[in-house]
Amino acid sequence: MIRHTLTPAFLFAAATVAAPASLAAQTAAQAPPAAPATAPATQPPMDESKRVPAADMIGKEGEGFSIAQGWIQEGRIRGHGARPVGIASRALDMMIEYSKVRTTFGRPLADRQAIQFMIADSAMELHACRLMVYECAWRHDRDEDVRQLSYMTKIQCAEMASRVVDRSIQVHGGLGLMRELPLEWWYRQVRSIRITEGTPEVLRWRLAQHIIKNHKG
């Protein structure tokens, strides 16, 4: 059985925060900081004076991009496939456990059809993505070309985890947004996973190009 408590620090802060004097003051208080006039540099300055001995070269000259692609491909299976599956699995467990102990109007949330649908959808999507990760990893271990399958795995697993964590937060209500639970942190993590090592838009574009090019009607 899960027990959730509010920390004294949270209760003290909630009781002592004063309301803004006016709507204008409230808007000003909530406004984000002004963006800098010049965007910060995202890359360090290049230093072309350094030289790497030929004996320390990884692979052959001109093959660096293909080697990096291989590393990224593995990352899509592990960090962007298996990791979201693990996050979604735990988020689903928390959703089910909390729905059993949280009661509204004399009945547990687990009795509500809307909650049951969230659990069922999450379980089906999680199962499908777990099998996709298994197949992609298995084919990779057999030295097969899994670039296109890794695209599918990364897209499906990252987007699935976002939906499952979102549903878990919904079932937990306001409690799901508090830092006492890992859900809000997972929500931010899976959102970043959808962007890194290939956005879903780019991967869908490349996947579609491959499918159309190799289609045999």
DSSP assignment string, 135-157: HHHHHHHTT---HHHHHHHHHHH
Q: What are the tokens at 192? A: 């970043």
Which residues sit opposite 4 in a β-bridge? none
Query: Rounded to whole angstroms, what are the CA distances from 83 to 78, 139, 179, 185?
Result: 6, 18, 21, 14
**Cα 95 to Cα 112: distance, rounded to the nearest angstrom:** 13
- φ/ψ of residue 107, rounded to 5: -135, 145
Closest CA to 122 of 176, 85, 79: 85
159 is catalytic: no
Catalytic residue among 74, 135, 184, 197: 197
Q: Which residues are the active-site residues?
A: 197
